[in-house]
């Protein structure tokens, strides 16, 4: 499993409910079942423990260990009620799988009866059920993401034109710090699905985030971020309608910023944005007109032989 | 070193992203300027900062950081915690200052390298 799949498996342990992965094929006995019958059931069903019911309520569990004790005592005619383990830990069907994992780890028991909200026995689970449940869910999630990625990767194959490209357009509202970063994170997600080299994705993510934040912070009425993707390159275009940058050379100086104090307090306005973009892209073109707006174009090549192939951000 | 081991050793409070504590931490980065973290922090790093607002989550997830430690007992906004939970990004808090956390983290990570 790759690290991301391992992480996914860990997430699933929190997301999967006990009720989804437990065994519902419930075999039970009553307190007056003999240990001889218990032996037959365990053997025939190839299971290692049985819930013991008393008047419909869970009274205990009789397991192979209990059976061995009765065999050692040569006491197979005794009743399950005598040999069963009482004080049984139960788990709710709506609890996450990770709860069962913790209980198994802490108590060292091999199985847990599962109860519904009213405390009625509805199933039983063993550590194997968790493994099986996670693997099943992982397989399903893996297939879904694989299909998405497969479709995305082949999107350029079936479309015939002299130059095909995919264009993502985002409206960037002014000073909306709650949605800031949304465009860049969606561009990043798309590039990952398209199967772009992760180092290139990272460079695009940094450049598009800085361009997006410049519009959020500095524009007069918001602006737009456009990412054009084709098999050769990714072109970013960020533009707004003002106020314009009075001195581009100054704006490109590391540490120079015109952001107001309240924005600096949030950690923006480090004066590094344009420098970060320049360091991440292969070509950058910045034009600005006072009171009319700013237009930033940047290109990142997908093939390492073109462009300067720097995967390090400054 | 795994993130959960760091959480235990430094007695950090886990405020969000509990499901992602098994990540391998590759290093650390300390800054309160988002652009610096964007450019300087490497994927898998732990980011030490005083900032506790929503945009910290955006920078950390875009950069695929292992988690964020908000130091000096600075507050973390509820929307940042909710977003971090959604993204599976661990947000950890401590009353210790950035200097002390960085020093102890350096010692911990240096020992495993």
Q: Are strands B45-49 and B67-70 parallel, antiparallel or unpaired?
A: parallel
Which DSSP helix (H) or strand (E) runs through A248?
Answer: helix A248-251
Tokens of A190: 């798309």
Q: Which of A7, A184, A314 sits opposite B20 (nearest CB)?
A: A7
- Do residue A128 and residue A184 come from a single domain? no
Q: Determine the structural domain holding residue A92 and report its residue range.
A: 3-132
A274, A252 contact by CB (below 8 A): yes
CB contact under 8 A, A266 and B55: yes
Q: Is the pTM of this model over 0.80?
A: no
How near does any CA of chain A get to the CA of B97, in Å? 17
Residue A312: its pLDDT value, please?
A: 45
- Do residue A22 and residue A112 come from a single domain? yes
Domain ranges of chain B: 3-112
B64 neighbourhood in chain A, CB within 8 Å: 202
Secondary structure class of B41 (helix, strand, coil): coil
Interfacial residues of A (vs B; Cβ cutoff 8 Å): 3, 6-7, 10-11, 14, 177-178, 180-181, 184-185, 188, 202, 205-206, 209-210, 213, 266-268, 270-273, 276, 279, 313-314
Could you give the CA distance from residue A108 to residue A85 in angstroms, rounded to a whole number?
14
Tens digit of each residue's pLDDT (9 = 90 or more) over A208-244: 999 999 999 999 999 999 999 998 999 999 999 989 9
Does B79 reach chain A within 8 Å, measured CB to CB?
yes
Q: Give the end-to-end CA distance of chain A in Å, rounded to a whole number.
A: 33
Q: How many domains does chain A have?
A: 2
Say which CATH number the domain at A277 has. Answer: 3.30.565.10
Q: Is A291 left (phi over 0), alpha (psi -120 to 50) or beta?
A: left
B58 neighbourhood in chain A, CB within 8 Å: 180-181, 184-185, 209
CB contact under 8 A, A210 and B38: yes
- Do residue A94 and residue A179 come from a single domain? no
Could you give the CA distance from residue A84 to residue A34 in angstroms, rounded to a whole number?
11
Percent over 90 (pLDDT), chain A: 45
Tens digit of each residue's pLDDT (9 = 90 or more) over A146-205: 888 888 888 888 888 999 999 999 999 999 988 899 999 999 999 998 989 889 999 999
- Do residue A121 and residue A208 come from a single domain? no
Torsion of CA A186, A187, A190, A196, to 10 degrees: -140
Interface of B with A in 16-55 (CB under 8 A): 18-20, 22-24, 32-36, 38-40, 43, 49, 51, 53-55
For chains A and B, what is the number of CB pairs under 8 angstroms? 82
How near does any CA of chain A get to the CA of B73, in Å? 16
**Superfamily of structural domain B3-112:** HprK N-terminal domain-like (3.40.1390.20)
Query: Does pLDDT of B6 surpass 50?
Result: yes
Query: Does pLDDT of A310 surpass 60?
Result: no
Could you give the CA distance from residue A95 to residue A149 in angstroms, rounded to a whole number?
32
Q: Cis bond leading into A168, ω under 30°?
A: no
Sheet with A49-54, strands from edge to edge, namely A29-30, A49-54, A57-63
Q: Which of A184, A266, A314 sits opposite B51 (nearest CB)?
A: A266
Say which CATH number the domain at A95 has. Answer: 3.10.580.10
| A264 within some domain | yes
- Do residue A190 and residue A283 come from a single domain? yes
Could you give the CA distance from residue B3 to residue B10 in angstroms, rounded to a whole number?
11
Q: Is A258 left (phi over 0), alpha (psi -120 to 50) or beta?
A: alpha
Mean pLDDT of chain B: 93
ipTM of this predicted structure? 0.86
């Amino acid at each position: 499993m790759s690290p991301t799949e391992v992480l996914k498996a860990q997430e699933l342990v929190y997301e999967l409910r006990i009720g989804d992965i437990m065994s519902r094929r419930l075999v039970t006995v009553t307190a007056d079942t003999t240990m001889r019958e218990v032996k037959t059931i365990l053997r025939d069903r190839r299971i290692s423990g049985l819930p013991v019911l008393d008047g419909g309520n869970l009274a205990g569990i009789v397991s192979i260990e209990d059976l061995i004790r009765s065999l050692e005592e040569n006491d197979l005619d005794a009743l399950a009620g005598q040999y069963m383990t009482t004080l049984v830990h139960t788990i709710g069907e709506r609890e996450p799988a990770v709860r069962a994992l913790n209980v198994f780890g802490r108590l060292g028991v091999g199985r847990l009866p599962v109860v519904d909200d009213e405390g009625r026995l509805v199933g039983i689970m063993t550590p194997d059920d968790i493994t099986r449940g996670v693997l099943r869910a992982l397989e399903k999630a893996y297939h879904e993401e694989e299909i998405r990625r497969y479709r995305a990767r082949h999107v350029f194959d079936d479309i015939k034109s002299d130059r095909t490209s995919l264009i993502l357009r985002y409206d960037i509202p002014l000073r909306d710090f709650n949605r800031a970063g949304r465009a860049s994170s969606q561009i990043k997600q798309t590039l990952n699905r398209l199967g772009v080299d992760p180092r290139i994705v990272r460079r695009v993510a940094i450049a598009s985030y800085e361009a997006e934040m410049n519009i959020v912070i500095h524009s007069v009425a918001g602006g737009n971020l456009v990412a054009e993707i084709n098999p050769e390159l990714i072109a970013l275009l960020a533009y707004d309608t003002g106020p314009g940058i009075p001195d581009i050379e100054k704006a490109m100086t590391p540490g120079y910023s015109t952001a107001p104090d309240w924005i600096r307090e949030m950690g923006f306005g480090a004066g590094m944005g344009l420098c970060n973009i320049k360091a991440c892209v292969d070509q950058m073109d910045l034009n600005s007109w006072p009171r009319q707006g700013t237009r930033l174009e940047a290109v990142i090549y997908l093939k390492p032989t073109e462009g300067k192939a720097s995967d390090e951000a400054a | 070193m795994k993130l959960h081991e760091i959480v235990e050793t430094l007695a950090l409070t886990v405020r969000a992203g509990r499901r992602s504590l098994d990540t391998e931490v590759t290093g650390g980065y300390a800054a309160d300027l988002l652009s610096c973290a964007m450019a300087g922090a490497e994927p898998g790093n732990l980011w030490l900062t005083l900032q506790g607002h929503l945009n910290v989550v955006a920078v950390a997830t875009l950069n695929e950081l292992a988690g964020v430690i908000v130091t000096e007992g600075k507050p973390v906004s509820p929307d940042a915690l909710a977003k971090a939970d959604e993204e599976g990004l661990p947000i950890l808090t401590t009353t210790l200052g950035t200097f002390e956390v960085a020093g102890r983290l350096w010692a911990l990570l240096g020992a495993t390298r």
